[in-house]
Chains A and B, each alone.
Chain A
Amino acid sequence: MIAIRGLSKRFGKNVVLDGLDLTVPKGKNTVVIGGSGTGKSVLIKCAVGLLRPEAGEILIDGQDILRMDERELVGVRRKFGMLFQGAALFDSMDVGDNVAFALRRLKMHPERHIREVVEEKLSMVGLRDIQRLMPAELSGGMKKRVGLARAIASEPDILLYDEPTTGLDPIMADVINDLIISLRESIGVTSITITHDMASAYKIADQIAMLYKGKIIEVGTPEQIRTTSNPVVAQFVQGRAHGPITDESEEFVRFVHR
C-alpha cells in the first residue's frame, strides 16, 4: 500500500503540489486524472523518488521514502516498475537487452536463463520474436508494450503508468488498457496510472482521484466520478470547455469567452 500525506513540491515560485493526500490500496489500480500541467507526472516521480518534494511523506508499505538516503532508495525502487510516456527505451540497445536490463543489473537470473525470461515477459505483453530489433524500428504501440515488459521484468509490486494511452490509436490504446487490467489480475500489482484519457480511466480504474490545483479534490469509484456532484470534476470528466476550471484561469477566460 502507498500512503501519500501532505505532499508539497514547487519549482521556483510555481507551486505544483500543495499538501496532496492520496491512499493507494494494495492490488488495486488507482487512476489520477487532471489537466495538462497540473502536476500528475510530478506526483508519480515523487513516489518513485525521481523528484524530492519539499514537504510531506510517502509511505511505501509503512516506510517513508522521503527520509531515506540514496542507498536505501535503491532498495525501495526495486519494488517499482514504471512505464514512461514515450516508453523511454534505451535506444543504444536492442529490445532483448532493454527488457533484460534490470535482470542483469540485479543479477536476478543466471545469464543462460535471461533469454527465456525475456521471451516470457514479452509474451505477457503480446509480443514475440522481436528481441533483436532496435527501439527505432518499433511502432509507438510496440514501444509502449516493450516498455511495459521492461517494467514488469524484475517482478515489481508497484507499477506506475505515465499516460499509457497517450499518442496511440484507439485500438492500440484499448490493447494497453487490457494489458494493464490483465497484469493487475495475473500478478496482483498495485498500480498508479496518470492519464487524461477518460475512456481509459473508466475502464482500468478501481479508484479514480482528480488532481486540481496541487490537491486531490475527489476520490471515488469510476461510477461515483462519472456521476459526481463536484462541478470541477464534472467539467473535466465530461470534457466541457465552459465551467469552473476554465473560468478560474485567466488564460482560458480570454480564450474561451472572447
Chain B
Amino acid sequence: MTDSGGKNGAARFAERLGERVYAMVLDLGAIFTLFVQVLSWIVRPPSEFRNIVKQMEEVGVRSLPVVLVTAAFTGMVLALQSYSGFQRFGATSFVGSVVALSITRELGPVFAGLMVSGRVGASMAAELGTMKVTEQIDALVTLATNPVKYLVVPRVVAATIVLPILVVFADLLGILGGYFVSVYLLGANPYVYIAKTYQYLEFKDIYTGLIKASVFGMLIALISCHHGFVAQGGAEGVGRATTRAVVASSMIVLISDYFMTSFMF
C-alpha cells in the first residue's frame, strides 16, 4: 500500500520498513534455494566442463588487470600510511610485516572481492537478466536444458575456483607495491624489509585469505545470477537487476568477511 491517507508518519515508516525486510527475506530464501539447486545439478551429467572453463576466463583472466592494479596501489598506500604512523614511535622496520599481514589476511581478498563484484557481478546479472526478459531462459527449458545447470553452475564453480587464484596474484602485487614504496621512496633497507615480511607472515594468514576469497566468489556469482534470473520489465528491469546485484554482492563481501574473520581469527 503506497496510498496511506489516514496513517501518520510512523505507521508509514514501519510499513515501508516491513516491506523492505520482507523483500530481503524473500531474496535470501531464493538465493539459498538457488544454492541448493546448484549443488544438486553440479554432479549430474552432462558435464558443463567447457562452460566452466569459459567462465573461468571471463571471471579470472579478464578481471586480472583491474585486481592487480587495485592490489598494487593498496600495498603502496599501505606502506606510505603505516610508515608515517610507525615513524612516530620509531617502529618503521615493521612496515613490511604490517603490509604483508594486512594484504594477505584482509585487503587482498576484500578488494579483489569488491572489484569482482563490480565487474563480474554486473556482467552476470546483465547477461542473465537480458536472457530472462528476451525469453532465452524459457527457450533453454524447451530445449531440454535446465537453466540453473547450464547458466548458474558454471558461473558459481568458476568464481569459487578463480577468486583465490586472483587473490594469490593480488597478495603478491600488494606486497611488491609496499616493497617498492618503502625501499625506493622511503629509503628502507631492502634486506630488513624482506626479512620482516617473512618473519611474521604465517601460512595461515595466506590460506585464510584464500578461503575467504573462495566464499566471496561463490556468493557474488550466486547473488548476481539470482538477480539476473528474477529480472523483469525490459531494459529498465535489467538495469535494476544489475544495480541490485552489484550493491548486494559488494555488501555481502564486507559482511561475510567480518563473520569469516571472527571464526578463523
Q: Which residues of A contact B (CB under 8 A)?
A: 45, 48-50, 70, 74, 77-78, 80-82, 84-86, 88-92, 101-102, 105-107, 150-151, 154, 160
- B46, B130, B134, B141: the one contacting A77 at CB < 8 Å is B141
* 26 sample A-B contacts, Cβ–Cβ < 8 Å, listed by A number: A45-B138, A48-B141, A48-B142, A49-B141, A50-B138, A50-B142, A77-B141, A82-B138, A82-B142, A84-B135, A84-B138, A86-B134, A86-B135, A88-B135, A88-B136, A88-B138, A88-B139, A89-B139, A90-B131, A91-B134, A92-B127, A101-B143, A105-B46, A105-B143, A150-B139, A154-B143
> In the bound complex, do residue B139 and residue A154 qualify as a contact, i.e. CB atoms below 8 Å apart?
no
Closest 5 CB pairs of A and B: A88-B135, A88-B139, A82-B142, A102-B143, A84-B135
> In the bound complex, do residue A77 and residue B144 qualify as a contact, i.e. CB atoms below 8 Å apart?
yes
- B139, B141, B142, B144: the one contacting A90 at CB < 8 Å is B139
> In the bound complex, do residue B135 and residue A78 qualify as a contact, i.e. CB atoms below 8 Å apart?
no
Asked if B146 is at the interface (CB within 8 A of a chain A CB), the reply is: yes
Question: Bound state CA distance, A89 and B138, in angstroms?
Answer: 11
Question: Bound state CA distance, A82 and B144, in angstroms?
Answer: 11
Contacts beyond the supplied A150-B139, A151-B142: 10 A-B pairs with Cβ under 8 Å: A48-B142, A80-B142, A82-B139, A84-B139, A86-B135, A88-B135, A91-B130, A105-B46, A105-B143, A105-B145
Question: Bound state CA distance, A106 and B142, in angstroms?
Answer: 12
CB-CB under 8 A for A74 and B143, given A84-B135, A91-B136: no
Question: Bound state CA distance, A70 and B144, in angstroms?
Answer: 11
Question: Bound state CA distance, A85 and B136, in angstroms?
Answer: 11
Nearest-neighbor residue (CB-CB) of B133 within chain A: A86
A71 to chain B, nearest CB (A): 9
Note all chain A residues with C-beta closer than 8 A to B145: 101-102, 105
> In the bound complex, do residue B144 and residue A105 qualify as a contact, i.e. CB atoms below 8 Å apart?
yes
Question: Bound state CA distance, A242 and B3, in angstroms?
Answer: 34
A95 to chain B, nearest CB (A): 14
A-contact 0/1 string along B115-130, CB 8 Å cutoff: 0000000000001001
